[in-house]
Structure 1
């Protein structure tokens, strides 16, 4: 009977902490429970053990060993410091002295895990502030009371776990799969019609190109989300979308996910338009919007967020943002814009099964003002309207397609806007020569050679220009320099022509 009364006290104690104080069950066995107080700072974990202790040596060994267990719990919970407490429910204290065991133990010199130990019996009801128990006189009544306590603890634990799981399983990633298929299909079409590395092809299929957006083609802010540059770009974004997008769609549901995805992508595209003059494509802004959705979830369920995925999400996000600042070709404007857009979009639609609040329309107004402000800034930011490098790329691709009339204005603007690389003046010189503007072409080629003397193609073209101008000696000197730099057969043929 006395042993059963201690069992009853053990289950009443657990029942009190779980149902009355709101402790979370971390682990449970028949005679041992690990309970966590998420509200405590630093975090507190109780280890309640039902055992009968005879000698302090066993208690001492178990208490010392428990320090390692609490340290493992600390690392699992990803908290900086942890207070652990062993509560031994025993019919009698050890027969020998155990006062030294009640002193705190530390796991390491950093003292991140502190463990205390206490031995309790059923007479500690008042000390533990347990409510008065109903009068129980028979073994059957004790067994029945213990059974009901176990049942209630199991029910509340299971209900808590199911509630947490439901937060991550509200929907299925249907839209994520459809988006991935659309992105893959567009990449295939682009590759068959000029290639994803062709600036002209990307612009033709809807990439973000500032001059055309200013001209009225606003739809590019959305179409650019479905285009990717190179297979590696497609692969990396698809992997990110599969995992991040799938997680967000499960948490928010399909309809909310689509709103979050497209609002984040739109915000990222407008931010790219405002701060980046390059031709841009990719779903990166929308993917960073998924990061924003996870961060918003973390503001609503902070403890659950950091207990599950929080630190991993923050670490990966920080690495990507730092990478974006370090690598010049990464469009960090789109990334940060998408992150902010995704967070605000979540604040507008909110999580499923949450009541509508006055904050949602207010955030929607903020979102509209943000998009409008970014777009107006992009229009007024003349430095970001066009890029001399992009102009050069477009002009070069037109030349490769023998579209001289289309290439010329792009090459001209690239040079006039101060693109200080020899390729710019070299290609413009080629176009001027085709238009028989030989004097202009000569000056451009001389400028090219001044920037890069070893540019042997420029020496060769300059020799051709000199021939057109009937300056034979200059032509001979230029072709000789080209041959010295690179003895190409074409250069040797021109040398022979000049000699005859």
Structure 2
């Protein structure tokens, strides 16, 4: 009798949902078929409970394969899934005419599904539920009696259906509640601030102009080493070029509003700034270049979503899990292969955001000791990055970074500082050693240390034979010291590089007259 099978079907489904913590995935419009699943660590069990009747094994097998393929295409599975088992339970009046025993347990032909089980329950084969409970490793036994009275049977079946739908609706309401804990006001404010400051940068000299960026508070290791630590915060609101701004603001619009809805306004802004702080500190420790952007804070928001996924894996993987993980991995890989991307800030912000989420915790979560531990971890993390950055001479004495600093000092006529910085930087120089030597010689000329200036210039032209400015200054120093042969050789090198230059021609003629 069909109504009897409906009762058994709904009794089993309700048991799986209430006692075994299975989640309802889908149900057919006529409720003849339910799909449920349960994830346990790295194992996933998918259960199909169907009232469909199959007369032949081939029809049954075709249905099994079709459903498995469709389910795998339409659900998000957890990352690093170790084992997936699919259980097909058919509640039928009779079994297929031909033998179907080889379908009881088999290796699925559908990718990602490891094992497929088929069970056919009937009044003559009630032991099939026991086999299912054993294979699925269920914890609670299912006992029930089928009402004899038809009206009672129909009534109880409708009650079971209603209860199943009620549990499913409550689960959906729970998900909606998770994503409506705060209205995303602060995300929009942050977007507005970033856009306003970008146009102010453009107006004052250009968002790609290093001097303008430094003036407005970009991450600049030289300034930070001199005490300008506020740059970690200000750099979060500056962007280099319209593409950089557009990319980050799109991320803030989609990811920021999502995190703000999940965590609420106050928790969101705390995570955002703590992640930005961690990302900025990682950039200081690992990246010598001038840097700006909200990327560290944005990756911190990804970290917040991963923390949410750790605390609510069911909701996380049902709604956004694989997408978030894919985007994070893609961005990290992109950062590794694209030199201009500040991957240190990205990873530093990601870790910082994850830890910061442990500090603020999710709404309605009480875990004071865990929060205290997270605070300690965050402090050690940030100060660890700071200590590493302060002692990472290869970054802090990066030749490109120090050249920019030396140029500023030369313009300010701070020549003693120039000689000190160049001397400290030269052991770490690679491609710009000649330029550093030139600037030190320039400073020594003004400090009247002419011998040291000549030695630096001689090394500079030895390393870079086409260095005209170095040859010219060296020729003048030789002339000043009455070393006319050396001065003439230097001038000849200049004329070989640029025979049309009037200054070189005049110096050559002047040296010829002096020799005569």
TM over 0.5: yes
SS in 2 for 1:27: strand
Residues 148-174 of structure 1: per-residue CA shift (max 9 Å, x gap)? 222221121121122123323422332
Distance in 1 separating the partners of 2:340 and 2:49 = 56
The change in CA–CA distance for 1:84 and 1:184 in structure 2 (over 3 A counts) is same
Q: Which residue of 2 aligns with 1:459?
A: 471
Q: Which residue of 1 aligns with 2:371?
A: 360
SS in 1 for 2:406: helix
2:147 to 122, 135, 142: 135
Q: Which residue of 1 aligns with 2:92?
A: 90
Distance in 1 separating the partners of 2:61 and 2:412 = 89
Does structure 2 retain, via aligned residues, the 8 Å contact 1:483–1:491?
Answer: no
Does structure 2 retain, via aligned residues, the 8 Å contact 1:391–1:410?
Answer: no
Q: Which residue of 1 aligns with 2:114?
A: 113
Matches within 5 A, 1:98-497: 98-107=100-109, 112-122=113-123, 128=129, 130-133=142-145, 135-138=147-150, 140-210=151-221, 212-213=223-224, 215-273=226-284, 279-321=290-332, 331-368=342-379, 370-371=381-382, 375=386, 389-397=400-408, 403-406=411-414, 408-419=415-426, 420=429, 421-433=433-445, 440-467=452-479, 474-490=486-502, 493-494=505-506
Does structure 2 retain, via aligned residues, the 8 Å contact 1:71–1:113?
Answer: no
Quote how far apart the aligned CAs of 1:248 are: 1.7
**How many correspondences in the alignment?**
493
Residues 218-247 of structure 1: per-residue CA shift (max 9 Å, x gap)? 433322322344555444443443333233
Structure 1, unmatched stretches of 5+, are none
SS in 2 for 1:358: helix
Length-normalised TM-score, structure 2: 0.81
SS in 1 for 2:191: helix
Q: Once superposed, what is the RMSD of the aligned Cα atoms?
A: 3.7
The change in CA–CA distance for 1:496 and 1:309 in structure 2 (over 3 A counts) is same
SS in 1 for 2:37: strand
SS in 2 for 1:17: helix
The change in CA–CA distance for 1:220 and 1:122 in structure 2 (over 3 A counts) is same
Distance in 2 separating the partners of 1:384 and 1:15 = 61
The change in CA–CA distance for 1:323 and 1:3 in structure 2 (over 3 A counts) is closer
The change in CA–CA distance for 1:228 and 1:54 in structure 2 (over 3 A counts) is closer
Matches within 5 A, 1:13-52: 13-29=12-28, 30=30, 31-39=32-40, 42-52=43-53
Residues 435-486 of structure 1: per-residue CA shift (max 9 Å, x gap)? 7765554433222101111223433443444455565554443333233234
Length-normalised TM-score, structure 1: 0.83
Distance in 1 separating the partners of 2:83 and 2:176 = 27
Distance in 1 separating the partners of 2:114 and 2:477 = 81
